[in-house]
Amino acid sequence: MTESEKLPVLAVVGPTASGKTALGVMLAKQYHGEVISADSMQIYQGLDIATAKPTPEEQDGVPHHLIGCIPIDAAFSVADYLSLAKPLIQEIHDRNHLPIVVGGTGLYVSSLLSNVQLAPTKQDPALRQQFLQYAAEHGNDALHDKLKALDPQAAAEIHPNNLVRVVRALEVCTLTGKTFTACKAESHQIPSPYRSLVIGLTYERSVLYDRINERVDQMVAQGLVDEAYAVYQNEALRTAYHAI
């Protein structure tokens, strides 16, 4: 596939409260685009306030995809996201519109644009719980040492306190018999079919913190406490919320 044959994709990334939603909408209106969310929390149904889902007013008539489309008690992985986002990019392109990926989940964006090929996800909840229990009893560094023994390169790239990624790396090593690093390398063998431009938003830290604090105040005013209490009262939703 030549560069000119690749599908054009625009991506807007950045930290919380950096203005990704507004910029994505502005670009979509300017370049006849449609937004594909790359937010691992907004994809779930419910928790509209807590996950800062764009309101109809904020969407301003621009089509938005992959927001509130997955039941909150359903497991959802990067592989699941790719299986939904890739066909959407093709569909939007076929409508002669520009696919605009907007999100704060960097793993989703990078996996999509670099065309990561993921084998059917192997997961073992019981094994994950064993690793988490080990960390609870012996500390995050002790669990990280286990990963260091199996895959030193992955351990060097993952902070000991990033338990989600440490546990996932250990899970992959244990279930596949390969290192997490080797599995990642295998997933990048097919070139990306996308010609992408990534716009990264940033702010001075103090300004960004002020924006985040302001957003939290707005969330509380919009009913964040009531939304959270509704989840707390529902045991199934409470379990799912802690899982994600």
Determine what percent of the chain is predicted with pLDDT higher than 70.
Answer: 94
> Which letter, b or e, does each residue of 154-180 get, where b requires 16 or more Cβ atoms within 10 Å of its Cβ?
bbeebebeebebbbbbbbbbeeeeebb
Domain 3-118+191-243 sits in CATH 3.40.50.300 = yes
pTM of the model: 0.79
pLDDT of residue 244: 44
The distance of Cα 134 from the centroid of its chain, to the nearest Å, equals 26
> Which letter, b or e, does each residue of 5-39 get, where b requires 16 or more Cβ atoms within 10 Å of its Cβ?
eebebbbbbbbebbebbebbbebbeeeebbbbbbb
Domain borders along the chain are 3-118+191-243, 125-186
Tell me which CATH code domain 125-186 carries.
Answer: 1.10.20.140
3-state secondary structure of 98: strand
Where residue 3 falls among pLDDT bands split at 50, 70, 90? Answer: confident
Per-residue pLDDT tens digits for 122-162 = 678 899 999 999 999 999 999 999 999 999 999 999 999 99
CA distance 48 to 35: 18
Structure tokens belonging to residue 144:
């990280």
pLDDT of residue 229: 86
Determine what percent of the chain is predicted with pLDDT higher than 90.
Answer: 71
CA distance 240 to 164: 15
Spatial CA neighbour of 30 closest among 7, 10, 55: 10
**Residues 110/38, Cβ–Cβ less than 8 Å:** no
Where residue 121 falls among pLDDT bands split at 50, 70, 90? Answer: low
Owner of token pair 């910029």: 23
Task: Tell me what the mean pLDDT of segment 208-213 comes to.
Answer: 93
CA distance 28 to 170: 40
CA distance 56 to 157: 39
